[in-house]
Each structure stands twice: as C-alpha cells, then as structure tokens.
Homo-oligomer: A and B are copies of this chain.
Amino acid sequence: MSHTTDNLWQAIRDEVTTAAASEPMLASFLHMTVLRHKSFDDVLAFHLSSKLASATMDARALMELISEALQADPLIAAAARADIQAVRDRDPACKAFSTPLLFFKGYQALQCYRVAHWLWREGREALALHLQNRISEVFAVDIHPAARIGKGILLDHGTGFVVGETVVIDDNVSILQEVTLGGTGKESGDRHPKIRTGVLIGAGAKILGNIEIGTGAKVGAGSVVLEPVPPHVTVVGVPAHIVGNCDEAQPAQAMDHRIIEDQ
C-alpha cells in the first residue's frame, strides 16, 4: 500500500502523535511502538512481537516472523485493517483507530491468530501451536490455528474465547467475551461451528458441534447452542431456542444484545 494513500496509517500516526505530545508517560512507548516506524505493517509486527515474546522466544525472531507472514500473505494486513474499522464502527468505547491496535487485546489476539493460521497453512504446525500457546497465555484467547476466520471481525474484550480446529467464521461477525466455538466429541474431522456473515454472538455463549449459525443471526448472551440456527433469527437459553426474528440485517454491526421475543 503506497504511503500517500494509506489513510488508516496516517490517521493512526496523527492520533498517536497527539497522544505522545500530551502524555509524557506514554511518549516512550508510542515512539518505540508507532512513531519510529514507516508503515502499519511494521507497527503490527513490532507490537504483536512485544506481546508474544517470552524468556524462551526472542522478540526479534517473532517480529521477523510476523513481518514474513505479512509480506507473504497481504490478506493478513488487509484483515487487520478491516478489523480496526469494525471495532471503530461497532464499539462505542472505541474512539480512535489507534485504540484497538495499541490497547484492545481481543483485536491483538485475533491478529496473532492470523499469523499462526498462515503458519499452519504453510505446514509449520509446531510453530503455529507455539503461537497459539502464547496467544492463550497472553490474551486468554485460545484459537486453534487451523480455524478459518474472515475479516471485519470485532472480538470484544476477548477473554475466554475458545475456537476449535474446524471452525469457520465468515466476514463481519461480532463476538463478545467468553464465547466457545467448540466440538462435541473426541472424533477428529469436521466437528466445529460455522458462523456466517453478520452474526452477533453474546457474552458467554457456547456453540458446540458442526452446526451453522446462519447469516445475520443473533446468539444471546449465556446461551448454549447445540442445534443449527437459521439466518436472521435470535436464539437464547440453555439450551438455546429461537425467540424471534432478528430485524437488523447485520446484528454484528448493530451490536444490540437486547433479546426481544416475538409475541
């Protein structure tokens, strides 16, 4: 992406420049992490490597690995950008483009997963599992690197998110904290949920088995979903049942967690 037309990068730089000037205590962090870099990708590689580094895995090696992934598969950075836009659009607590990048662990965990997923597809499974492990420790987000996750995802807060090996999440989905997209047994093979576009999954929901959550459906907080969910309906309960249609075209974007039962 050329410098002159990279509006997101320019917006982030502008926000961060302002913050560094007004908050001396953050200036060091912001200069090291953002302002000394030349591109969004460089910031992403640096910042995620800060998060994932440990006493037994060097930050430099991780930064090089993430850069390698970003160069090899431009869709990773594209998704990372779309995710920022999704958070900015849907999370009223997010007032700047730089906020998810710098401070939201749901966002960061998701981007780290994207790198692990690239490794998995490249056949580098052991390293992908290592990243999964670090993501799990650092962010309390446990996404199997084989899972396939689209772009424009809001993973809000993120704590406790668990995603199984054969999960598919389409674009433009919003997922709150403590959601499980899990399996139902010890058989291998395709055994995890498929989440279609526009879906909103409330906090604490557990969706188990190779079932589809249809386009534009809404899963209420705390629900346990064991059956497929048709498009554009709302399900709630333990176990979940349909309580009505979901009027929003894209519940993921409306982010309305209220449950309005059809009369």
Contacts and interface: CB of A to CB of B under 8 A. Distances in A.
Interface in A124-166: 124, 126-127, 129-130, 132-133, 136-140, 142, 144, 157, 159-160, 162, 164-165
Contacts of A178: 160, 178, 180, 204
A77 B20 CA distance: 29
A138 B157 CA distance: 13
A46 B60 contact: yes
Nearest to A49: B60
Given A31-B31, A176-B182, A208-B221, A50 B54 contact: yes
Contacts of A54: 50
A157 B181 CA distance: 12
Which of A127, A144, A209, A236: most chain B CB closer than 10 A? A127
Interface in A21-44: 22-29, 31-33, 35-36
Nearest to A145: B93
A187 interface: yes
Interface in A150-201: 157, 159-160, 162, 164-165, 176-178, 180, 182-189, 191
A105 B93 contact: no
A154 to B, nearest CB: 10
Contact of A257 (B93, B183, B254): B183
A133 B105 contact: yes
Interface string A65-109: 100000000000000000000000111110000010011110000
A224 interface: yes
A186 B24 contact: no
A140 B61 CA distance: 26
B127 A26 contact: yes
Nearest to A163: B157
A259 interface: yes
B209 A182 contact: no
A256 interface: yes
A204 B226 CA distance: 14
A253 interface: yes
A27 B23 contact: no
Given A49-B60, A56-B29, A209 B129 contact: no
A117 interface: no
17 contacts: A23-B127, A27-B28, A29-B130, A51-B137, A53-B55, A58-B59, A59-B59, A59-B60, A92-B189, A102-B133, A103-B133, A105-B136, A137-B138, A140-B159, A140-B160, A180-B204, A222-B224
